[in-house]
Amino acid sequence: MEEKFLAESLQSLTSNPNPIDNKKTKPKFYIPSLDGMRTAAFFIVFLAHAGLGHFIPGGLGVTILFFMSGYLITTLLRKEYEKYQTINFKSFYFRRVLRIWPAYYFVLLLGAGLTIFGWLEGEIHLPAFLSQVLHYNNYYSIFIGSGMTDGSNVFWSLAVEEHFYLIFPLLYIFLRKKNLSSQQQMFVFGGLCLATLVWRCILVYALGVTDIRTYYASDTRLDSILFGSILAVHGNPVMDRESYSQTVWKYFFLPGGIVLILFSLLYRSPEFQETFRYTIQGIGIYPIFVTAIRFPNWGLFQLLNLNWIRLLGILTYSLYLVHHTVIYAVQDYLPQFNKLIQGAVSLLISLVLAYAIYLLVENPLIQVRKKFSRS
């Protein structure tokens, strides 16, 4: 349905301000506000990389994307298991490969080629390139960190997610085969989040590691994804009944989540930023995420479901892949312009590239992925 929605949205971005109510474009399993939240998270990252990093918390955008990945993947695994009492791992991993690798390797090879031929600044070192090819770039960036296409360092977050996808389905089906209740699953994932926090504290307070170690590494960031998994298994807003009233969610939990996010951003202790920040943000995103999904037509959440916002949400993966390299290139080629103009040009070029990648690389594989989908 993504390709159909994208084509219809390009024809008329404003004809249906709330695509949730449009049955013609509504996928069989649709999560309200999800595409809009992807768009919001991407723009947080983009604005930070475009020169507003002192004012815009780009790391929060990445944490939101991590949370969404954990929530979506676990929800799909849960739906499949509850329908078939098993999970087809071959199909799961094949779908992940088709979703992530084609656009990823296309952008990786394109960026490396343009760098080698001098169209982009920098140089390519084989060990760095292989770390990106083999998805351990986050650890390579921590311990070595040079010899890559300018801007491709954003691939570290994809490495974290790839490591999560490799391990988590096995853990999930183990818990299901042990007949753990949704609440017990929640406690297991919560325990892993707590263990990750303790590990970060040991690294920071006892071993004095640098911030890049805790920010990039899979072993210190997996809890950002697991918080989304917690929501998927217990209190899932698209699968489970509401435990609290609308009033409680809208006027108690939602403001509480916002306060936690603001606190995590405003308290600037370096040690806190690299330890407790990620935990507090994961807890704070939880009620915001639930409220946005349960009440998509309420307040500002309506904006997340506008057609053009959803359209950008579909493009966010390819946008994320290309945007930072584009920003570097625009700054190199147009140094005479101020940051605002450079940012606007970078966004325009990124959108054009992302849409081209969607049409040429991602879209042709959508139907193939659906053949391997059981949920």
CB 331 within 8 A of CB 42: no
Domain range for 209: 2-371
Question: Could you report the per-residue pLDDT of 46-60, keeping only the tens digit for each?
Answer: 999 999 998 999 999
Smallest CA-to-CA distance from 247 within 213, 291, 289 is with 291
Per-residue pLDDT at 368: 79
**What is the C-alpha end-to-end distance of the chain, expressed in Å?**
14
**pLDDT, tens digit, 9 for 90 and up, residues 193-204:** 999 999 999 999
pLDDT at 70: 97
pTM: 0.91
Q: How many CB atoms lie within 10 A of CB 311?
A: 20
Q: How confident is the model at residue 375 (pLDDT cuts 50, 70, 90)?
A: low
246-298 pLDDT tens trace: 999 999 999 999 999 999 999 999 999 999 999 999 999 999 999 999 999 99
Q: pLDDT tens digits for 84-95? A: 999 999 999 999
Q: How far apart are CA 289 and CA 192, in angstroms?
A: 21
| Structural domain count of the chain | 1
